[in-house]
Amino acid sequence: MEPLLIDLTKTQRDLFEYQPDHHHKDSNNFQITHAKLLHPAIDFKPEGMVIGFSILVEGEDGAEERNIHIVCDDQGFRMEATNHVLFLGKQKYLLKDTISPPLVNDRWVLEKMVSNLSSPAYPSDIFETIKLTIQRYADLQDDGHYGLIAVWAISSYFTHLFPAFPFLLFFGPKESGKSKVLEIINLMAFNPVKVKTISEAALCDTTDGLRGTVLIDQAEALPFNMVGLLADSYKKAGAKRRIIGHRDGKRVIREYSGYGPKAFATTKALDPDLKDRCCQILMQRSVKPLPDIFGYEPEWAAIRDMCYRFLLLKWHDVQSAYMQIPFTGNRKGELWRPLESILRVLKVPQREFEYIKRAFEQGTEKTKDRLSDVEEALFDVLLDQARHNQKFEMTTHDLVDKLKMQLDRRECPTPQGLGNLIAIYNLADDKKKRTRQKLVHYLFSADRVKDLASRYLD
């Protein structure tokens, strides 16, 4: 597609010139105005929200790139061309200095965007359209997976309304359609980048600069130093990349956020910490004749148009729906809440809602880090004692003797290894050395053992 060139009027050009407020000061009175920042890619504030794009315009020396922003506030919808200052309602915001938003025609056809600003129509069929499009190009094992991917793609436009966001993990053998599903998401999700490997800098350029969706193919090849950053990046408060920069001749620490939607495709198990943030979708080789994807099919632009309209019209409803969903106190509930808030606003039929929730719960169950055989056996031994005694005392040697009845001798841990497990799970109320052999005696209570068992055993 040829880049669209726009001739700015003088009034529009003036919007690109930032005129700072001048505050009077004298030797006895120095006035400081606190700067309120707005992210140029997408941001949500109490007064409204903004979506950013870049555009090629005709300047004095040829084509130049400028930023335009779709603003939604109490005055309605409008487009503003500015690189520096925006008003949401009466509140002044300075635009954060970051990389340019995506070119508008790569994401939303300019003519459609402009026509939608006067009176954007609610895309009532957005969910069904996306689900049917996925069904056309992909063959998945569970019908609930189509709806799950559809709502995840829509949710990627609202990620920064939420404090945490789930990852998707497509797991299966070669030629099972994993890369193709990532390609489908890449054509629908918010500001996506699809890669086979990624560095810390590239990750944060996408998540901090574009607030976009990161899609990583062949994720089994991820370098070890990326795993921790990615695992923390499911939370807005986590995964900060810190670098030393210079400003006014001084060294300063700059932070870049890694938070944002992510999906992985892999043939091997991911690191347990990273996998624990994912909803896993098992992939299989299809026997159906599925069409190829070229990327310029008209349905992709139509889907993105619906997603942007849904974002403009329903962002506040999504925010309210999220706050109405009760906290569960566990990670699975934390990751489900963003998707449920979108499903509530979409008013998806209850049966469809249950299919999607079941698929999500099964997917997160597959990624949960389970207890080892030794850990389960230790809980079983202690639970057996707790059924008969409110308080009881055991040494690690006593525990080893009982574990030998449940485990192969080669699996049975050493007394020191058992002591480490007791400490990790905080199983004992207290411990004391009471024998000439200096054996450690652990004091257990039935209430503590039963409570911890209910938390860790299925």
List all residues 6 or more positions away from 133 whose beta carbon is below 8 Å from its beta carbon. Answer: 184, 299, 303
Residue 16, pLDDT > 50, answer no
Q: pLDDT class for 6, splitting at 50, 70, 90?
A: very low
Q: Check if the beta carbon of residue 178 is closer than 8 Å to that of residue 280.
A: no
pTM passes above 0.85: no
Q: Kindly state the tokens that stand for 400.
A: 């080893």
Residue at 181: amino acid letter? V
User: What pLDDT does 328 receive?
Assistant: 86
209 DSSP assignment: I
| pLDDT at residue 435, as a whole number | 61
Give, in words, the CATH class of 373-456.
mainly alpha
Residue 391 has pLDDT above 90, yes or no: yes
Answer whether residue 87 shows pLDDT above 80: yes
Digit-coded pLDDT (tens) for 361-385? 999 988 776 778 888 889 999 999 9
pLDDT tens per residue across span 39-69: 999 999 999 999 999 988 888 888 888 899 9
Looking at residue 65, its pLDDT comes to: 85
How confident is the model over 91-100, as pLDDT tens digits? 999 998 877 8
d(CA 180, CA 158): 24
Rounded to whole angstroms, the Cα distance separating 126 from 220 reads 33
CB 418 within 8 A of CB 407: no
pLDDT range class, residue 25, cuts 50, 70, 90: very low
Kindly give, in sequence order, each residue whose CB lies less than 8 Å from that of residue 97, ignoring residues fewer than 6 positions away: none
Q: Characterise 50 by phi-psi region: left (phi > 0), alpha (psi -120 to 50), beta (else).
A: beta
Question: Which residues are within 8 A (CB) of 59 and not within 5 positions of it... i.e. 6 or more apart?
Answer: none
Lowest mean pLDDT among 247-251, 351-355, 453-457: 247-251
* Confidence grade of residue 8 (pLDDT, cut at 50, 70, 90): very low
* pLDDT computed for residue 182 by the predictor: 97
Q: Whole-angstrom Cα distance, residue 191 to residue 206? A: 8
The per-residue pLDDT of the chain, averaged, comes to 87
Domain ranges of the chain: 5-105, 126-367, 373-456
Q: What is the pLDDT of residue 22?
A: 47
pLDDT tens-place string over residues 163-195: 999 999 999 999 999 999 999 999 999 999 999
pLDDT value at 119 more than 90: no
Q: What is the CATH number of domain 126-367?
A: 3.40.50.300
Residue 3: pLDDT over 80:
no
Query: What pLDDT digit, counting tens, does each position of 393-448 carry?
Result: 999 889 988 888 888 766 788 888 888 889 888 899 998 876 666 778 899 999 99
